[in-house]
Chain A
Amino acid sequence: MKRYLILEDGTVFPGVGFGSSIITTGQLVISNNRTGIEQSVTDPDAEGQILAFAIPSIGSSGINRDFYESINSQCKGVVIGSSSPSTIDGSISFGDWIASLGIPGIKNVDVRELSKHIAEHGEMKASIMDTHDEHAIDQIKALVLPPDLVKRVSTRQSYPNPNMGIKIVVVDLGLKYSILRQLSYRDCNSVIVNYNATPEEIENLHPDGIIFSNGPGSPSDIPQTIKTIKALQKKYPILGIGLGNLLIALANDCKIIKLAQPHHESSLAVKEVASGKIDFVNHNHSYTIDQKYIGSSDFIVTNICVADGSIEGIRHEYLPIMCVLFEPEAAPGPNDGYYVFDEFLDLIDSIKFQDDGGVDQW
């Protein structure tokens, strides 16, 4: 059944429909993940997004429910080139899986040309539709993407991820489950709270450390979270991942800018400034922190992207705050980034064991 991927600027990419037959609109993101389709489609960052996958013959590696990053998918649509109708382990095929999730898809699209177009003209909205007439294009242009993406994916109720170790409160801005997996592996006793949790609510949980997770959308959509950060950052060790990182930067008078080419790859090199070590980690972000303001801020740059020199990690000079823009929990991607969690726990430990330390150190 012929369908069309229509971009905001009027460009039409023909293809063949699969999955759900509904019409859908979303922010088009080109994903250069080599593996991990389950993770990408169920990543809460995909809320409101139409994901275009550039890997060839997608689906031959099979679908495994254990690799979901949230309970259900929030993805608005998928765009692919070629797919494999059968899998290596006899699991459900990609097409059937997308259909079972109720997501509309379009295949046989020239994803290479699509990537080129987006690289040249920037990320934009797109729709998967059955016709490509003028009317359809006008519809897309007129559509405004909802500004409450975080609200949609953030957990409504607080819930625990109990264990016996260090107490962590995770502020859910659209977190991936693999963050919780990494915390569990380190015996962290975690509680996950809604993005709107007040400083008092968080303090009442007596955390040893607080994590502000990754999430969809723009930091300007959730100003109240910035306020929460400001209130808590002098009292608790904080780790910011992705969107969390951007919020912390904004809370401390830094500015954020759009990347020249967005980072949506499961394996992109990041250099640790202090030691020169190069790690390959998963990236899923279109923004970074503006280098111009770092010098005058209280942050030092701890990680940079080797390919384009953009900031990938910062740390506060005297408050126990550390942030990364990449996804240290991988899922998918190399596990070179896991050390960020160890570093955060070490940071918490070093604060705890300060006998004559404590608050007045800072």
Chain B
Amino acid sequence: MVESEPHSILVIGPTTSDKNVDLSTAMYDTVEILHQLGYKTSVIVEDPTSLLSSGKYFDRIVVARVTGEHVLQYVHEYHPDAILPTVGDRNALGIVSSLNGKIGSVKILGSNYMASLATFKRELFIQKLTESQLPVINFVSSDDEKEIYSFIRSIGFPIIARRRYSNRHSSGWTNINNLFELDNFMALEDIEDSRIEIERSIRGFSEYSFTVVRDKFDNSALIGTIEDIEPIGIHHLDSNLISPAISLNDSKLQKMRTASLKLAQAFDIVGVCTVHFAYNHKTNEYFITEFIPRLSEETKFLEYATSYPIATAVVELSLGYHLDKLQLDGGRGFNGASEPFVDHITSRFPQWSAKGQKYLGPSKTSDSSIVVNGFSIEEVFNKGALNDKLNHNVERREQLSKLDDDQLFEKIIHPTNWMLDVLIEALRRKFEMPVLSEITGINMPYLTVLKNLLDISNLIDGDEVSTDNIERLVEMGVKGVGQSELLLDSDDVVTKTVVKSKRSITVSNRNYNNQNFFVTAGIKSDLKLSDKNKIIVRSPIITSKTDIMVRQFVLMQLVQSIAQNGLEAIVIGREPWTAPLSSREKVIEIDDPYMEMKSLDLIPEESIFKVIDFSKHLNEDDQVDNVFQINAKQLKNVEMPGEISLRAMVVTDGNNYLVPSVIYRQESDGHSFEISSYNNFLPVADRSAISKLIEQELEDNNEVNVFNFEFVRSNDHWVVTKSFEGMTDDIIRHELASSVHVIDTLVKLILGNKIEDNKTLEEIFNNQDNRYLLTVDDKRYNLLDFESTKEQLAKLLK
């Protein structure tokens, strides 16, 4: 069944670029299954802390800039059997395309040289698709008038054109719809020092993306479809996305499905491939605009939307497994030959950290996103883009109402990230829907949804909610305890707030028991709980990238630890969280954007052992003793610069404490140096001094808790400069090494275990690591062994 050839695999890891998609869960799933299947894996990565918990599965972690050069060096030194680029974003494919002919018999898994190259080289992409008779937008780049006009005659109008100058710069694209505009464009400049580039215009076409998987035996399956609400012209990830693509009828769906499978076949991609389409519903023309033969933001979204374990499937397929004979873990089989049927809508709404309006275009501007679930488009709009708590839509409405019609119109012609609010305002002023649809390229069903929502909000504003229209309101996803009460009082309950599983009832969806749920409207809840005691983990919406990584890491560790310690973990979040595959069956995850779980009373109070909350501020009505706030609260902040400082993480059960991890930091010669797991190098005297300070700080604390302290060395003694109650960002660095299990220790303490009395200082500071992370200037990393670390410290202290 499996080619037994590769035994050792080099994974090309992520760079530290901010533009990277967070694929940490996918990386974890990938490496965990490789480990369970018996492969030896190593990774080349720039920041080892970005590996989060998957670090423990690697046989070798090479910390270096992720470039072709370094990959080649690794290949020549260690001779891996295969290279896996699928978790390394665009950079990894770029590296693959540069390795042709240089790596001998080393296999490339998932995406081959040709496919990787074609994602960068437009000419190759066009050539290959044309050969396979797939519709692609042809373009011409020429300074020969005959060639240019001949090309225009062959493709017809509308087209876009730009000039490319000899210094490699180019003008912006101009839309040309007819001969008159063409003549104007050509007349602007002489053709001598510039080339003219022309391609068919797909402005205003609807945008779709199809993700397929394929095995070595040419068996393929369509995993999911995504529809952009905004048309081509606005970056895919700045658009509001809907899955499945509900506006496609059978004929259109099958056309694009067939084309996607054909593309995967043409490039012989074994693994996953996402294909982007531009589709014109009026003329039924369509073009393939791009393809992505690796894991991406789309596959991450679809893995949650469809409950299909894409990351795990991809690595197995690339190793030669049959599509229907995949493995979930070392022992359990999984039928990957299924095109998941989803009976609800999963939607991704991009988020911007700045509050104001931002003009949108072909380049991505959003910073993060939020995913919501619902059974109707109205419901996902309400929970997502029009959710006042996220996007301050009430404020936006006020601002937009002050614009006059012309100013409002300008915002329609030049799309901004407030597009949906702008359209609602336009509909409020009775602008016509077909006109709006024509100008914005947003299809009618969405405008109708906005109109419905406008009517509803008018109803609510005017206090006209009654039992007659309550059904309509609930159908629209308007929920909140107020309306729900009215519903509950009614005899004829049409729908009420319930919790539904993300798994639809189909023949092939019974492979494994995904425990993802979401709060929505219906008549009955799907939630089935075991009789184990529960720990509920509550999580707010987080948009900063570091915070996301921290929460991701902590959640992963928390749920694994909770499950291992015999309890049932329930994660309730304002946005969904995808657990790693190995936990997905054990952890119940509920997407609850309006935080309604409490009022639904589905989890019996007696079975809740503890609530762990990630929010910065708790609700007043939370019983403080049952809630453990994990987020850091700053208790002390003393500004004291010093060359040498220590950061220690302390875990206490109220009486005794442990210091499992200490980070050393030194500023000298304009650079900063940090060494993690410093415990084993901490001089006894310092250890003693630090512990006395810690004991002082812990005096007033008599319950289970985590603390983070910063100590600065000043005049031969240590001073506490910062103290936090709770987890800070350092948690990742503290737990990077596998021997320190801070979170597991914390969970055990929460469960009632105690730290032994009378521990010696050596035991309190015990740390079993044999690899130490050296961070220079907060951005360059190195993993050192004991001897090298000693040398480095000696150098620093001179």
Contacts and interface: CB of A to CB of B under 8 A. Distances in A.
B221 A269 contact: yes
Contacts of A36: 249-250
Given A89-B281, A308-B507, A332 B345 contact: no
Interface string B585-625: 00000000000000000000000000000000000000000
B495 A110 contact: yes
Interface in B317-347: 322-324, 335, 337-339, 341, 343-345
User: Which of A82, A333, A334 gathers most chain B CB within 10 Å?
Assistant: A82
B447 to A, nearest CB: 8
Interface string B373-384: 001111100000
A61 B506 contact: no
Interface stretch (A9-17, A95-103, A291-299): A9-17
Contacts of B244: 34, 55-56
A108 interface: yes
A112 B337 contact: no
A341 to B, nearest CB: 16
A110 B250 contact: no
A267 B339 contact: yes
A14 B377 contact: no
A222 to B, nearest CB: 27
Given A13-B523, A110-B523, A88 B444 contact: yes
Interface string A78-92: 000110111111100
Given A265-B341, A269-B221, A306 B448 contact: no
Contact of A57 (B335, B341, B377): B377
Contact of B246 (A13, A60, A266, A330): A60
A88 B217 CA distance: 37
User: Which of A13, A67, A88, A268 gathers most chain B CB within 10 Å?
Assistant: A88
B341 to A, nearest CB: 5
A194 interface: no
User: Which of A38, A57, A306 gathers most chain B CB within 10 Å?
Assistant: A57
Interface string B188-225: 00000000000000000000000000000111011000
B504 A54 contact: yes
Interface string B294-326: 000000000000000000000000000011100
B523 A113 contact: yes
B522 interface: yes
B508 A269 contact: yes
A3 B341 CA distance: 28
A111 B248 CA distance: 21
A163 interface: no
B637 interface: no
A276 B505 CA distance: 27
Contact of B505 (A14, A55, A116, A331): A116
A277 interface: yes
A165 to B, nearest CB: 25
Contact of A115 (B221, B257, B443, B504): B504
Contact of B495 (A108, A115, A263, A267): A108
Interface string A115-134: 11001000000000000000
B494 interface: yes
User: Which of A14, A38, A119, A334 gathers most chain B CB within 10 Å?
Assistant: A334
Contacts of A90: 444
Given A112-B500, A307-B508, A35 B250 contact: yes
A13 B444 CA distance: 31
A62 B507 CA distance: 27
The interface residues of chain B, by DSSP majority, are classed as loop
A74 B218 CA distance: 39
A16 B471 contact: yes
B373 to A, nearest CB: 10
Contacts of B219: 277-278
A264 to B, nearest CB: 9
A30 interface: yes
B375 A81 contact: yes
B436 to A, nearest CB: 13
Interface in A248-280: 261, 263, 265-269, 271, 276-278, 280
B522 A110 contact: yes
A268 B506 CA distance: 9
A173 B510 CA distance: 33
A86 B341 CA distance: 23
Interface in A23-42: 30, 32, 34-36, 38-39
User: Which of A39, A54, A283 gathers most chain B CB within 10 Å?
Assistant: A54
Contacts of B475: 82, 108
A30 B447 CA distance: 30
Interface in B518-556: 522-524, 526
Interface residues of B, number: 59
A199 to B, nearest CB: 37
B277 to A, nearest CB: 15
B408 interface: no
Given A2-B492, A87-B444, A278-B323, A34 B253 contact: yes
Nearest to B252: A61
Contacts of A61: 246-249, 252
Given A14-B493, A14-B494, A278-B219, A56 B335 contact: no
A72 interface: no
A305 interface: yes
A333 B258 CA distance: 11
A15 B505 contact: no
B494 A54 contact: no
Given A15-B494, A56-B376, A263-B507, A278 B281 contact: no
Given A113-B524, A278-B219, A87 B445 contact: yes
B323 A268 contact: no
Contact of B324 (A34, A56, A278, A331): A278
A35 B253 contact: yes
A355 B495 CA distance: 70
B257 to A, nearest CB: 6
A56 B249 contact: no
B377 A84 contact: yes
Contacts of B443: 88
B257 A334 contact: yes
B335 A331 contact: no
A113 B217 CA distance: 38
User: Which of B252, B343, B507 gathers most chain A CB within 10 Å?
Assistant: B507
Contacts of A16: 471, 494
A64 interface: yes
Contact of B222 (A88, A113, A267): A267
User: Which of B335, B344, B452, B526 gathers most chain A CB within 10 Å?
Assistant: B344
Contacts of B281: 88-89
A278 B247 contact: no
Contacts of A62: 249
A172 B79 CA distance: 64
Interface in A177-202: none
Contact of B506 (A2, A32, A56, A110): A32
A233 interface: no
A261 B505 CA distance: 10
A333 B222 CA distance: 12
Given A82-B475, A88-B247, A276-B217, A267 B522 contact: no
Interface in A312-362: 330-335
A60 B11 CA distance: 43
Contact of A335 (B221, B248, B258, B376): B258
Closest 10 CB pairs of A and B: A82-B376, A332-B250, A307-B508, A61-B249, A115-B505, A35-B250, A269-B337, A86-B448, A36-B250, A278-B219
Given A82-B378, A89-B281, A278-B324, 14 more contacts: A32-B343, A55-B343, A56-B345, A56-B375, A60-B445, A86-B447, A88-B281, A88-B443, A89-B282, A112-B375, A112-B500, A269-B324, A271-B337, A306-B324
12 contacts: A34-B244, A56-B344, A57-B377, A87-B445, A88-B445, A112-B375, A115-B343, A269-B335, A271-B324, A332-B250, A334-B254, A335-B258
